[in-house]
Structure 1
């Protein structure tokens, strides 16, 4: 019996396809009548906090700068998620932009690392899968902990801190990753209620 992979190139096998067309970001609905992101805001994002995903770039610095700019933008009736998710693609280029395009259509629904009702187990699995898809990411264990921890809902951070007997950041990266992994494994089937 012939293996399906025998017909595919190495390039084809290493590329993640979206299985269809469409943005990986599901943009939240905006009820405001006069909502418009001005070109000057987009240009500011593109010139001040652009991230390409190279090993010499700091993803945490990118996110800090990106959020600093986004947090200065307010519209009545428009959530911070709606603003951030609309501006995120403008902050990425190169490998980082390609990574975003290669995610399945509609897979990003909120700025937080946990989707509504998503378990810690599922979020951790999704995070590990993203790291495996991009083995040249260059994130140290410490950076992986920071990215995951900063991306999850505050209630999940509280659980992780409780499991760490105080603060996850006070543990070594190896121990912190073990705590996250163990909590994720033990939480299979749990659901979380997002607090606004």
Structure 2
């Protein structure tokens, strides 16, 4: 078919391609609107691309969970609000995503995490976890809190509960390993993971004076399990994630 547009018309800027990356299904609910107070709350802690993206999602999930409508899925509310939670580099990233390329909340979370928490960072933190050791003059409680912080920073680390407990136990100096064995009534690693975790948590609540660190003993336990990872001593909440970890209160 012949194109009868004039050259001036054909040289005009195109008007297509300005749709948003995020697709939100039509909302037909009566009396639905996003309150300005909710938008302001989301904007009070905007993500610029420099902070921890997991922390941002935790805050965002907590805020959006306070607003519910019986006829509107919570995921639709999240999709509508999420752009308001970004600024600077992060907002530029979203604006550059292809139009209509984000169809669900899971799509958005996946793209967001992979953009601001690349695989190289995951590898780095996984290595920090597997090579963890108790530092000289570091108390048991300090070492345990630091180890949990590494796990929190990389909630998708994939390490089983067995792997986590084994790594922490074998990172400790001899005195603290002996204390765990004593609390376990024998070899700490003979306990089931749930009981081992309870022993560690109980010991971490006791104040200990600093003492000279002793080199960790070599591991003598059996090879680590290759079973499906369990995140039962994760303590952050990630509503909206797939593979949601257990909350701190479950420890």
TM-score, length-scaled by structure 2: 0.42
Q: Please tell me whether the aligned partners of residues 53 and 117 of structure 2 are also in contact (alpha carbons under 8 angstroms).
A: no
Of the candidates 26, 30, 33, which is equivalent to residue 29 of structure 1?
Answer: 26
2:113 pairs with 1:51: no
Greater Cα offset, 26-35 or 98-107: 26-35
Report the aligned-residue RMSD: 3.7
2:162 pairs with 1:165: no
Q: Please tell me whether the aligned partners of residues 51 and 62 of structure 1 are also in contact (alpha carbons under 8 angstroms).
A: yes
Q: Structure 1: give runs of 5+ residues left out of the alignment.
A: 1-18, 116-122, 150-163, 171-196
Task: Tell me the matched-pair count.
Answer: 124
Q: Deviations over 1:85-106 (max 9, x none)?
A: 0000000001111111111111
Q: Please tell me whether the aligned partners of residues 49 and 88 of structure 2 are also in contact (alpha carbons under 8 angstroms).
A: yes
2:97 pairs with 1:99: no
Q: Please tell me whether the aligned partners of residues 102 and 108 of structure 2 are also in contact (alpha carbons under 8 angstroms).
A: no
Q: Map residues 1-196 of structure 1 onto 2, 5 A cutoff.
A: 20-47=17-44, 49-54=45-50, 57-113=51-107, 131=115, 139-141=121-123, 142=125, 146=155, 165-167=227-229
Q: Structure 2: give runs of 5+ residues left out of the alignment.
A: 1-15, 126-151, 159-225, 233-251
Which of structures 1 and 2 has the bigger CA Rg?
2
Moved over 6 A (4+): 134-138
Deviation at 1:76, TM superposition (A): 1.6
Q: Distance between the aligned counterparts of 1:99 and 1:70, measured in 2? A: 22
Q: Deviations over 1:96-131 (max 9, x none)?
A: 11111111111111111499xxxxxxx8xx789x54
Deviation at 1:148, TM superposition (A): 9.8
Deviation at 1:20, TM superposition (A): 2.0
The structure, 1 or 2, with the larger RCO (C-alpha pairs under 8 Å, 6+ apart) is 1
Q: Please tell me whether the aligned partners of residues 53 and 95 of structure 1 are also in contact (alpha carbons under 8 angstroms).
A: yes
SS of the residue corresponding to residue 112 of structure 1 reads helix
Deviation at 1:22, TM superposition (A): 1.1
